[in-house]
């Protein structure tokens, strides 16, 4: 997408309108006509920026992906395996306002359009950081971390894993720390 400030303002209007619409009804019930009316833009303008509502929804939720990736990497040195970083606790606590939209884009097990973006971005960040420090089995562990986090997040959002936001943050953190630690034992 272009970095034209006018185009970015239009996309921001469309993203806000989507969140407003999804606060009133599920994504599956939102139409382009009502969305562009809420955003105050024309239908042709919508299609200039997005192929369909799902593309807009994934773009609108991209911040949650960036926040998740940043939250999982918000520590330096040796992580405390028992206690999730504050950024991860904040990430899970902040999901509530748009839970139904995230559920529509992130299917159980971590699939769906948002799950694919989350997996790709988290794997890339994990791989980069593991390679930077020379950690063993970097590609394998990066894939496992991305799949585990996306899967647990999706299952929690869908109610398949029962826990408060704080509890799930600590539980998923312990899983991910164990995966990172196991990478050094796999290659031997």
pLDDT at 182: 77
Q: Measure CA 113 to chain center.
A: 10
**pLDDT (mean) for 117-137:** 91
Q: How far apart are CA 126 and CA 143, in angstroms?
A: 8
Confidence band (pLDDT; 50, 70, 90) for 164?
very high
Task: Using alpha carbons, list the distances in angstroms from residue 39 to 55, 101, 132, 143, 184.
Answer: 16, 18, 43, 38, 51
pTM of the predicted protein model:
0.84
Residue 86 banded pLDDT, cuts 50, 70, 90 = confident
Give residue-wise pLDDT tens across range 168-186: 999 999 998 888 887 666 6
Q: What's the CA gap between 116 and 107, in Å, rounded? A: 10
Per-residue model confidence (pLDDT) at position 17 = 96
Per-residue confidence at 144, pLDDT binned at 50, 70, 90?
A: very high
R_g of the chain computed on alpha carbons: 18
């Amino acid at each position: 997408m272009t970095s034209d400030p006018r185009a970015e303002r239009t996309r921001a209007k469309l993203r806000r309108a989507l969140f407003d619409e999804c606060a009133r009804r599920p994504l599956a019930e939102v139409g382009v006509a009502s969305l562009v009316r809420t955003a105050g833009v024309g239908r042709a303008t919508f299609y200039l920026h997005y192929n369909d509502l799902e593309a807009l929804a994934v773009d609108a939720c991209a911040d949650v992906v960036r926040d998740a990736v940043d939250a999982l990497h918000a520590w330096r040195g040796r992580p405390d395996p028992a206690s999730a970083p504050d950024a991860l606790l904040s990430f899970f606590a902040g999901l509530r306002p748009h839970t139904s939209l995230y559920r529509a884009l992130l299917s159980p097990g971590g699939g769906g359009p948002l799950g694919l973006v989350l997996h790709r971005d988290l794997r890339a960040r994990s791989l980069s950081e593991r390679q930077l420090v020379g950690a063993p089995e970097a590609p394998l562990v990066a894939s496992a971390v991305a799949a585990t986090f996306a899967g647990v997040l999706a299952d929690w959002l869908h109610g398949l894993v029962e826990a408060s936001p704080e509890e799930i943050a600590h539980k998923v953190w312990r899983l991910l720390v164990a995966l990172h630690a196991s990478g050094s034992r796999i290659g031997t």
